[in-house]
A and B are shown apart, each in its own frame.
Chain A
């Protein structure tokens, strides 16, 4: 365990209310992010990763039930008064949302959108719009542009500038590069990486694309059906996944040049489960190729693997000889 994490989440449950009844989107998640550390959170759509991100700053619909605890720099986010919460958002932790084109206000100039966040937190920051633009590699002239005058990559840079404008400790990046082209994606990842290092920021990097995580994160957590099923050091986890789901996810991103994946596309049969009606026992068992009878009834908790102190896996086979840690 990390001594004084910037973010400490314990037993977090987030349940949406829908016309079909309660929908458990996050079901008992523990997370720690240390100062300067980047944690990658991977999973498919509907697994609860964006809900988790939003819940960290209580950005969920009013009727949603949240339980458990979220400590951001030692302060409890879930019990904060609204006024204090407003100070924490942007200044302590900020979010880079996916799809910048839908997040920026189309009828407001870029400069004033960045300035808005700065003005709201006037006491805590002295940065200017110009500094922020320079930081993310945009020219001063961009401040007078409207969002439609910028390219996708430039808009994402603006989002990053806004997220950094109040000097937060933690950046939550929710699929920051998903809608972008490969080359622009590489530029944005590089930018995030440089800024993170210069400022010693912590980051929660959420993505469905496992392949971008190996270079950009220290640790990776894989989420399935609202729960973390495997967590560990990035390289180790991506090269030698133990949980059958993370293994399948890793295999669906072939290593170019590896003869094993040539003409061998690999995927998982079946579809991600519906949070409305989760399978019994281990929620992964209907798609799992190594499931045994007990998986249908017993849901294994995330627990440390005997072979590696840094790894935690939620699978009945986690300590089998054949699934050795590579």
Chain B
């Protein structure tokens, strides 16, 4: 992939040609290319949704950004600098980048009170002045008011939605500049989801915090995201503003994904056959070609691009920040 793309200067997070490969489980097995060449830019304060099926590498990518996963190739820059590898640098970095996981029950220590959970980050980062005041404000800000009523409770005494609010409050006390939310609402009840999404959106706006939301749900980006990146087998295959991508999808994968979501009414259903693809055996040529409706229906052949689909890996075109681009041969034959 080309690395001479034009970006506006003050990006908060910049991923260039990021690869993460998991080694084979047994000798002679094949390497799983979970993330396979991703470019992504996040500006301060923007909400970007990373969308895809399970196994497409979206969680691995999130872990790589957090520095929890070693890259096999490529660079990730936060605020213009590489992610630090020394202990002191890591500590400072982690203060600025926080994560909210899918299942709040699993991410909270059942033996810690809400107060201890939220204050833990402050203590680790040696910011214990006004601790009570900061914790209290964070809980209130995350919709748990009056905060005093919740501080001494334990996770099992809270509902799922309240637990997720505690997780978010714990992330917010450190005033991060980037929040990574990995499926933040998919374990919550439908009626509670909207409230949590609204909280994330409001926090991003008030604190000028960038949010990368990892999700398989296309309704979520319509609700809160400024931009959306669609991931398929380790690669971003389409990216653009939420309106552009969801209203005028370019990549056949995005179109198929949208057509099976019942909240979308304009597309004819196009159900892809087979199971979620396998990152240990990525197809030659375009990685989507084994499931591509354009290849299967013969449309690719009519357009005269079939050979390209089968042999050439399409490249996501160079882009400015808000451009809507997709990696598909049919777009520039």
A interface list, Cβ under 8 A from B = 44-45, 151, 153-154, 181-187, 190, 208-212, 214-215, 245, 248-249, 251-257, 261-269, 271-272, 287
Q: Which of A153, A212, A248 contacts B275 (CB 8 A)?
A: A153
The complex places the Cα of A160 from the Cα of B195 at a distance, in Å, of 35
Q: How far is the CA of A253 from the CA of B265 in the complex (A)?
A: 13
Known A151-B275, A209-B190, A257-B246; contact A182-B263, beta-carbon cutoff 8 A: no
27 A-B pairs with C-beta separation under 8 A: A153-B275, A181-B53, A183-B272, A214-B262, A245-B191, A251-B194, A252-B190, A253-B190, A254-B223, A256-B222, A256-B263, A257-B247, A262-B223, A262-B242, A263-B223, A263-B224, A265-B223, A265-B224, A266-B198, A267-B192, A267-B193, A267-B194, A267-B196, A268-B191, A271-B160, A271-B161, A271-B189
Cβ-defined contact, B191 with A182, below 8 A: no
A183-B260, A183-B276, A257-B266 known; A271 vs B193 contact (CB < 8 Å): no
Check A252 against B191 for contact (C-beta < 8 Å). Answer: yes
* Residue among B222, B256, B272 having the largest count of chain A Cβ atoms under 10 Å: B222
The answer to whether B257 touches A269, judged by C-beta atoms less than 8 angstroms apart, is: no
Known contacts A257-B264, A271-B192; 17 additional CB pairs below 8 A are A181-B53, A182-B216, A182-B260, A184-B275, A208-B190, A245-B191, A253-B190, A253-B263, A254-B219, A255-B263, A257-B247, A264-B223, A265-B193, A265-B194, A265-B198, A265-B223, A269-B195
Closest to B269 in A: A186
B76 close to chain A: CB less than 8 A: no
Q: Is B201 within 8 A of A265, CB to CB?
A: yes
Contacts of A190 in B (CB 8 A): 271
Partner of A271, one of B162, B197, B198: B162
In the complex the two chains form, what is the Cα distance from A245 to B219 in whole Å?
20
How close is B163's CB to chain A, nearest CB, in angstroms? Answer: 11
Name which residue of chain B comes closest to A255, CB basis. Answer: B263
The answer to whether B272 and A249 touch across the interface, beta carbons within 8 angstroms, is no
Residue of A45, A208, A211, A287 with highest tally of chain B CB at under 10 A: A211
**Contacting B191 at CB < 8 Å: which of A153, A183, A248, A263?**
A248
Is the pair A272, B191 in contact by a Cβ cutoff of 8 Å? yes
Q: Tell me how far the C-beta of A243 lies from the nearest C-beta in chain B, rounded to whole angstroms.
A: 13
Q: Are B219 and A256 in contact (CB under 8 A)?
A: yes
Cα A220 to Cα B247 with chains together (Å): 29
Asked if B296 is an interface residue, CB under 8 A from chain A, the answer is no
B218 within 8 A of A: yes
Nearest B residue to A271 via CB reads B159
Task: Specify which chain A residues have a CB less than 8 angstroms from the CB of B303 in the assembled complex.
Answer: none
Are A267 and B195 CB-contacts (below 8 A) given A183-B256, A261-B222?
yes
**B311: chain A residues within 8 A (beta carbon):** none
CB contacts (< 8 Å) of A262 on chain B: these are 222-223, 242-243
Taking the closest CB of chain B, its distance from the CB of A325, in whole angstroms, is 20
Cα-based distance from A210 to B219 in the complex (angstroms): 13
Q: Are B196 and A185 in contact (CB under 8 A)?
A: no
Which single residue of chain B is at the shortest CB-CB distance from A274?
A: B159
In the complex, the answer to whether B262 meets A211 with C-beta atoms within 8 Å is yes
- Option from B195, B222, B224, B257 in Cβ contact (under 8 Å) with A268: B195
